[in-house]
A and B are shown apart, each in its own frame.
Chain A
């Protein structure tokens, strides 16, 4: 189940968004009118995706999503706004590192597709990180075994330096034997 948080100072927008998104049964939605309350919640609960309005009293969407990014860097962040200026757009891209900027009024179909793509992208990032961690662990294990082998070679070279014949059998040095 994906956890999605919606933030907008206009309740009717949240109501409409919930209606659009509710048909996706694998999405669990939480809504907040105040970004301050949303931030408190984000400190105790993980969300896969945050969708926020831009212009809100007290805290704007870029500031909110920038805070969210430091709390939950792997989350996807989207701004949904009716209006913005270049400065705000730059802040959204550079500071909050948003995935997408969606304009209001939105197309229901496009909005759902964008969220689905963002969640897919997040899954890919999480999977990539997991694979990278696995590779790192395996490399560390390999390094450990390599140094053990080197140590063994140093202490007991006869155990490591084996002469193989063409038929796969081990050639035992008669002098040693």
Chain B
């Protein structure tokens, strides 16, 4: 089991901690809570337009169920509130003083990637090498690199790799639909805006990546040309 912990320490010294246990083989997150999930997690409530799950098998949206355990701890937090976040992965500890929306965004990104959603599944290998609080530039490098690796492993030969990364662009376009629906769910669940804005930050990247690929990855090209 791969364990990643997120500790949030607030200016009043209050602390909120999450232990995320991720299966080493499936890279799926273990249940975060045994409480019955709230109504806004029902699969048919603000269901993603591109959802392929059926409610007989999944009465609740698997991403929403996992998020419910997290956002319930942050209902009184504004997106711009200051927080110290400390993240422990098996390899390292990362600590940062940042805003709530950025700190929560990092956690939600990991939770979404490791939930049983067909549209976030492609992110699981990145979750295995989770880079907390990653910048846009870091995420572009990681997303493209992981995609090319996954192409290599899936096609079995480097010749047939989708170098234009059309499939990756499409995956991120589908992810934008998921982010929109999740934001709608969270709007009905939260009092303050930290959790919604965390999804919004994730969506910024989902929008940036297809654009970035269309622009021939110009913002990271310099790294490989010197």
Closest chain B residue to A58, Cβ basis: B80
Total contacting residues, chain B, CB less than 8 A: 24
The reply to whether A83 and B80 contact each other, CB–CB distance below 8 Å, is: no
- The CA of A56 and the CA of B192, in the complex, are separated in Å by 12
Closest chain B residue to A108, Cβ basis: B207
Q: Which residues of A contact B (CB under 8 A)?
A: 9-10, 12-13, 15-16, 19, 55-57, 81-83, 103-105, 108
B200 interfacial by beta-carbon distance below 8 Å:
yes
- The CA of A13 and the CA of B136, in the complex, are separated in Å by 12
B94 interfacial by beta-carbon distance below 8 Å:
no
Per-residue A-contact encoding for B81-113, CB less than 8 Å = 1, 0 else:
000000000000000000101000000000000
Binds A, one of B7-15, B114-122, B124-132, B176-184: B176-184
The reply to whether B180 and A105 contact each other, CB–CB distance below 8 Å, is: yes
- The CA of A56 and the CA of B187, in the complex, are separated in Å by 17
The reply to whether A19 and B211 contact each other, CB–CB distance below 8 Å, is: yes
Q: Which of A10, A57, A83, A103 contacts B201 (CB 8 A)?
A: A10
Q: Which of A12, A83, A104, A105 contacts B176 (CB 8 A)?
A: A105
The reply to whether B183 and A105 contact each other, CB–CB distance below 8 Å, is: yes
Provide the residues of chain A in CB contact with B200, threshold 8 Å. 13, 82, 104-105
Q: Which of A15, A16, A82, A108 contacts B79 (CB 8 A)?
A: A82
Q: Which residues of B contact A (CB under 8 A)?
A: 78-80, 99, 101, 136, 176, 179-180, 183, 187, 190, 192-193, 196-197, 199-201, 203-204, 207-208, 211
Can you give 6 A-B contacts (C-beta < 8 A)? A10-B101, A55-B79, A55-B80, A82-B187, A82-B200, A104-B200
- Interface pairs A-B: 4 shortest CB-CB: A83-B193, A105-B203, A82-B196, A104-B200
The reply to whether A82 and B183 contact each other, CB–CB distance below 8 Å, is: yes
Distance of B79 from chain A, by nearest CB (Å)? 6
Provide the residues of chain B in CB contact with A82, threshold 8 Å. 79, 183, 187, 193, 196-197, 200
Distance of B98 from chain A, by nearest CB (Å)? 11
- Counting chain B CB atoms within 10 Å of each CB, which of A19, A56, A57, A83 scores highest? A83
Q: Given A19-B211, A55-B78, A104-B183 in contact, is the A12-B193 Cβ separation under 8 Å?
A: no
The reply to whether B79 and A13 contact each other, CB–CB distance below 8 Å, is: no
Provide the residues of chain B in CB contact with A108, threshold 8 Å. 207
Provide the residues of chain B in CB contact with A15, threshold 8 Å. 136
Q: Which of B136, B193, B199 contacts A55 (CB 8 A)?
A: B193
- The CA of A86 and the CA of B157, in the complex, are separated in Å by 56
The reply to whether A12 and B136 contact each other, CB–CB distance below 8 Å, is: yes
